[in-house]
Structures are given as structure tokens and as C-alpha cells.
Amino acid sequence: MFKKLLTTLPLVAALALPASAQEFPDRALRIVHGFGPGGNADTMSRIMAEEMSTGLGQPVVVESRPGAGGTVASGYVSNEEPDGYTMQLMVGGHAVAAGLYNSLPYESVEGFTFISTLGQFPFMVAARSGEYESMEALIAAAAAAPGTIKIGHSGVGSTQHLTGELLALRTGAEFLHIPYQGGAAASTALMSGEVDVVIDTGTVIRPQAEAGVYDILAITSAERWPDAPDLPTVSETVAEGFDVVSWTGIGMPAGVPSEIADRIRAEVHTALAAPAVNDMIVSLGAEPSPSTGEEMTALIEGQIAVWTDVINSAGIEKR
């Protein structure tokens, strides 16, 4: 479904900036995200906040505003002053929401200044250890008892949610979708038996799999992921050609002065170039992928079109 989202750019050094940008920032900044603690968005936000605070010379605070697949946070950030002090850790669900909701309290593209993508990553399909021996066994069980197998995910409108919907569309299986406020909450529900399967990032899934609590049944990229070459793909098991690779990125409210946006972008790229940050992102199952603002805008516009088509083709009711 998706090819490689972006070609990694050469990281650029900060250029000489106008006086207004040189004076910025003079107080703490925020990275807002739309999910609960412990998930991929929260982890990525904290990695970036810690590294960027060094270059910016001011604290960067992480703030969680969970709800509705990240749209609560997007609505909040889009209405903040475009002074450069409020950033948003965006995820692929930002594009999904544009196709899933009949109306949103913000403009999905025009309402933001897009700074840079951070990384790209597939999702993992996981079940409690010993529950299903393979992806084929899961789909067979779902076919035998339609609508009884519960998939937990990080909120209606999240990319995890639509990945589960796409899995049902491609295999003919029928699942019951259970939304939570973030991947960590969905993972807790899987451990307790409240749901049968979780679709989420390696940040959420891999620690429990390494502890023997979960079995990872498949990964959603078209080809096996370099960081997890032993994991089979959905494509090679139950749905040939299945390919979902998502992303994270930094956005700000529309109207941020270009010199300040450039300063933030330079700090994002510098942070991504730091070996420790690079290693941490790779350890989360992601591939670091900095971009320009224009490339991030094009990515989001393209994914809005793709996910809108999936939603319409699957007959998913808009909200």
C-alpha cells in the first residue's frame, strides 16, 4: 500500500538567522501529543524534547492531550498562538482523521506549519502468548466466529484502527474494534484479556514480546523490516500486497514565522543526527527520516487521499 515514505535527507546545519529568530526562544517550549503515556507518540516526544532542549537552550516540556485518535491534540495545537513555542508530535493518524471524520475542529493541512518528519515504522499484530500460533490461525478463528475477536488500538481514527479495518477488508475477517486512549492502555487490555489482539508499534509491543507475554504474529510493512527480519509480514501470510508503514513528525500552528520554523527544523534535524537519538529511534522499530516542511506537507496530503479511499472502499461509517 505504501512505498518508502521519504528518502532520508542530508542533515543541514543551521544557517545565519534574522535577529527575531536569534532571540528565540526566551522561555520553555512544549511538544504536545494526542495519546496516553508510554506509547510511541509519548516516547518519541520525550526523546526529541530532551535532545532539542540542549540546542534551543530552554526546557522542552512534553504534554499529553489524548482523545479521538489524536484529533483533540491537533485541535488544541491549531488554535495556539503561532509564536513557535507550541509544537505537536504528529502521527499517521493525522491523515487518517481527515478522511474518517465528517468535520474536525481544524484544517488538516492549512491549519498547521509542518516542520519535519521524524521517522517511519510498520505496526505489529500481537496476541497473548500461546493464543494463536500464527497470523493464519488468527484469521481462521475470526472467520469461524465473526465479530467476536476483539482488536485493541489507540483510538478511533488512529492509523492502528484503520490498519485493523484494512486487515478485515483484505482478509474478509470480521473483528470487534475496541479503542483506547493510547497504545499502552490497549496493551494493558491485551494482558488482562479484555481484548484478544493489539495492533501497535514496536514501542508498545516488543517489550512484552521479549518478556514472553505476547506473540508477534506479523508486521504490516510489505517486506520484512530490517530491524525485525525474523517477523513474517501480513503480506506473506494472509493478505498479499498488504503494506502499511506509518510516520511521526513535528508540526506547529499555521502562521509561525518562517525564520522561527526554520530554527525549529534545524534543531529537529540536529537532534535526529545525534547518534544516541538515532539509536533510540531505531530501537523503537523506526527508521529516522528527516524532511523539509514541503515534503511533510506532500506526505500528509498524499496519505489523506490514500486513507480516504480505504475508508470509502471499506464502507467505514464516517464520524
Walk me through the domains of the chain, giving residue ranges and CATH numbers: 19-121+246-314 (3.40.190.150), 122-237 (3.40.190.10)
For the entire predicted model, the pTM comes to 0.78
Q: Judge whether residue 2 has pLDDT over 50.
A: no
pLDDT bucket at 39, cuts 50 / 70 / 90? confident
Q: Using the 8-state DSSP alphabet, how is residue 232 labeled?
A: P
- Who's near 56: CB < 8 A, 6+ residues apart? 25, 29, 267
Closest Cα partner for 253 from 69, 115, 104, 99? 115
Alpha helices in 31-120 (DSSP H): 40-56, 71-78, 93-100
Region 256-284: mean pLDDT is 95
User: Could you tell me the pLDDT band of residue 164, with boundaries at 50, 70 and 90?
Assistant: very high
Helical spans, DSSP H, in 92-246: 93-100, 135-144, 159-171, 183-192, 202-210, 234-237
Could you tell me the three cell numbers for 190? 491485551
Residue with cell 499517521: 92
pLDDT at 293: 98
- pLDDT given at position 148: 96
Whether the link from the prior residue into 10 is cis, omega within 30° of 0, is: no
Is pLDDT at 315 greater than 90 in this prediction? Answer: no
Q: Beta strands of the chain (E only): which ranges?
A: 29-33, 60-64, 86-91, 112-122, 124-128, 150-153, 176-179, 197-200, 214-219, 245-253, 287-288
> In 3D, which of 29, 23, 39, 20 has the Cα closest to residue 246?
39
Give the separation between CA 203 and CA 164, rounded to whole angstroms.
18
Region 155-171: what's the mean pLDDT? 87
60: left (phi over 0), alpha (psi -120 to 50) or beta: beta
pLDDT at 15: 47
pLDDT of res. 285: 81
For residue 177, the model assigns a pLDDT of 92
Whether 207 contacts 216, CB under 8 Å: no
Distances from the Cα of 23 to the Cαs of 18, 45, 161, 294, 302, in angstroms?
Answer: 9, 24, 42, 25, 36
**Cell numbers that stand for 28 in this block:** 520553555
317 pLDDT exceeds 90?
no
Cell of 41: 507518540
Q: Check residue 72 and give its pLDDT.
A: 95
Q: How is residue 68 annotated by DSSP?
A: G
What value does the mean pLDDT of the chain take? 91
